[in-house]
Amino acid sequence: MHPSSFEYFAPTKMEEALELLSKYGEDAKIMSGGQSLIPLLKLRIASFPYVIDISGVQGLNRITENKEFLEIGALTTISSIADSELIKKRYQILHEAAGQIADPLIRNRGTIGGNISHGDPSNDIPAVAIALKANLEVIGKEGKRIVEAHSFVTDSFTNVLKVGEILNKIRIPVAPDNSGGCYIKQKKSAGDFSVAAIAVQLSLHDNDSVKSAGIGLTSVAPKPTRAMKAERFLEGKKINDSVVREAAKIVVSESDPSTDFYGSSEFKRKVLGKIAEEAINLSFERATVR
Amino acid sequence: MSTIKIRTKVNGKDVEAEVEPRTLLVHFLREELNLTGTHVGCDTSNCGACTVLIDGQAVKSCTVLAAQANGKEITTIEGLSRNGELHPLQKAFLEKHGLQCGYCTSGMILTSFWLLKKNKDPSEEEIRKNLSGNLCRCTGYQSIVESVKYAAQLMNEKEVEREMAVR
């Protein structure tokens, strides 16, 4: 299979990339790792007159941590995230999610920025970014702006980026002490998209009641979903079996899965309820390890 | 039809070529450079038969544009042997029957090459995890895992020999 013809640009500086984007407007498509885009181009589900490959743009593939944020450049590959010792140690939820995306070969090229921007409701990073209450830094010719992770993807394969804008950095607030999280992904086979997946991040007060909760859902709605009611329900509460069961029910009520190849909507709700309980329990367990 | 110029190093040799931007790396390798050891399997980024190394990283060449290889180093199965001698991975796959029909083999070997570069002595679980993007419909994987283990052993022995020789 071959994509239909396009013109190709590979800028090495952000200014050049933004210049090209504003020149070609809606006829241009940004490509980073290409692991979602190239299959779409090959199947001719999508075609664009101009492809702007930003993978060579300098300085956007770093993972750094300062007092406030863990900052990840949008072009950082999923493999580098899965292999990062810093992320493994302090942001286990992200480490777990990255290691479960597609397969190792795809992870070697796929990027965190692409995983988020593509807007596929089955992509894993958006739910994690939601649970971690990440800020997404967007860059355009007029400057930078911040978008909260939960409002970045607006519908299936649609995001808030305006014509001429690029996702630049992912900023995750530094995890406080007494916090923990996990990503649980239920899938049919290795390398597959999920039937349902959930990202949970909890931070606790000294008395082990929940100080703040972040919950993001994958594959169970037309877009990555924040389970905000469940977050609010958990906040201030002590974790026990009945609280967890109730929270999981609320999570399910906030989902809107469709029936497809991966299962009926009823089946997906059941799976989600089960993994929601598991994820809240596991996050709590991790948050209480001192 | 517009074309662009790319420069890459393929198996250690400098290559300059004019390609259409939509040309996939796997087709460039097979049809322009005649390196047909890289196979087209599913052509949908599932099976890993087309695996090659770009700057040492194992990737699926059916899901990379030839244009994206500009300025990079590519290694294909043809680039592994030295002076007519098979690479330890190739020897190991031969000896441990890590293949039946052979269609997935070049991809299996290149992913394993990448794995053994980052981990000299992988456990069975690590081998299976790292090969999860490469499908084999013949072997049931058991003999492939054994081949990779054996290759790791051969490569480590070789390294010890080299160290002894230096002393």
Q: Of B65, B113, B135, which to mutate for an interface test with A (greatest number of A Cβ within 10 Å)?
A: B65
Residue A245 has pLDDT above 80, yes or no: yes
Q: 10 Å Cβ neighbour count for A152?
A: 24
Tokens of A133: 């209450």
**Amino acid, single-letter form, for residue A110:** G
Q: Which CATH number fits domain B4-79: 1.10.1060.10, 3.10.20.30, 3.20.20.70, 1.10.101.10?
A: 3.10.20.30
Residue A106 has pLDDT above 80, yes or no: yes
Q: Give Cα separations from A76 to A36, A81, A85, A129, B105 (angstroms).
A: 15, 7, 14, 15, 30
Residue A62 has pLDDT above 90, yes or no: yes
ipTM here: 0.96
Contact between A190 and A103 (Cβ < 8 Å) = yes
Q: What pLDDT, on a 0 to 100 scale, did the predictor assign at position B158?
A: 87
Segment A252-268, tens digit of pLDDT: 999 999 999 999 999 99
Q: What pLDDT, on a 0 to 100 scale, did the predictor assign at position B162?
A: 87
A201: which strand partners? Answer: A181, A214
Instruction: Return the CATH number of the domain spanning residue range B88-166.
Output: 1.10.150.120
The proportion of chain A whose per-residue pLDDT surpasses 90, expressed as a percent, equals 97
Q: Which candidate from B1, B71, B111 shows the least CB-CB separation from A105?
A: B111
Segment A2-21, tens digit of pLDDT: 999 999 999 999 999 999 99
- Give dist(CA B19, CA B32) in Å, integer: 9
Contact residues on chain A for B22, CB-CB shorter than 8 A: 2-6, 41
Q: Which candidate from A5, A10, A35 shows the least CB-CB separation from B67?
A: A10
Domain-wise residue ranges, chain A: 7-53, 63-173, 179-287
Residue B153 has pLDDT above 80, yes or no: yes
Q: What pLDDT, on a 0 to 100 scale, did the predictor assign at position B138?
A: 96
pLDDT band at B110 (very low <50, low <70, confident <90, very high): very high
Q: Which candidate from B21, B63, B71 shows the least CB-CB separation from A7?
A: B21
- Put simply, whether B69 touches A (Cβ < 8 Å) is no
Tokens of A272: 């989600």
Segment B17-30, tens digit of pLDDT: 999 999 999 999 99
- Put simply, whether A190 touches B (Cβ < 8 Å) is yes
Tokens of B122: 């992988």
- Give dist(CA B44, CA B36) in Å, integer: 18
Instruction: Give the phi and the psi of residue A256 in degrees, each rounded to 5.
Output: -150, 65
Segment A186-204, tens digit of pLDDT: 999 888 999 999 999 999 9
Say which CATH topology domain A63-173 has: 3.30.465
Contact between B22 and A4 (Cβ < 8 Å) = yes
Q: What pLDDT, on a 0 to 100 scale, did the predictor assign at position A24?
A: 97
Contact between A51 and A29 (Cβ < 8 Å) = yes
Residue A271 has pLDDT above 80, yes or no: yes
Q: What pLDDT, on a 0 to 100 scale, did the predictor assign at position A73?
A: 98
Min Cα separation B166/chain A (Å): 33
Q: What pLDDT, on a 0 to 100 scale, did the predictor assign at position A173?
A: 97
Min Cα separation B58/chain A (Å): 6
How confident is the prediction for chain B on average, in pLDDT?
96
Contact between B50 and B97 (Cβ < 8 Å) = no
Q: Which of B108, B82, B115, B79 is nearest to B94 (CA)?
A: B108
3-state secondary structure of B75: strand
Contact between A72 and A169 (Cβ < 8 Å) = yes
- Give dist(CA A106, CA A118) in Å, integer: 15
Domain-wise residue ranges, chain B: 4-79, 88-166
Residue A290 has pLDDT above 70, yes or no: no
- Give dist(CA A171, CA A241) in Å, integer: 33
CATH architecture of A7-53: 2-Layer Sandwich (3.30)
**Chain A residues 219-238 within an 8 A CB cutoff of chain B:** none
Instruction: Return the CATH number of the domain spanning residue range A179-287.
Output: 3.30.390.50
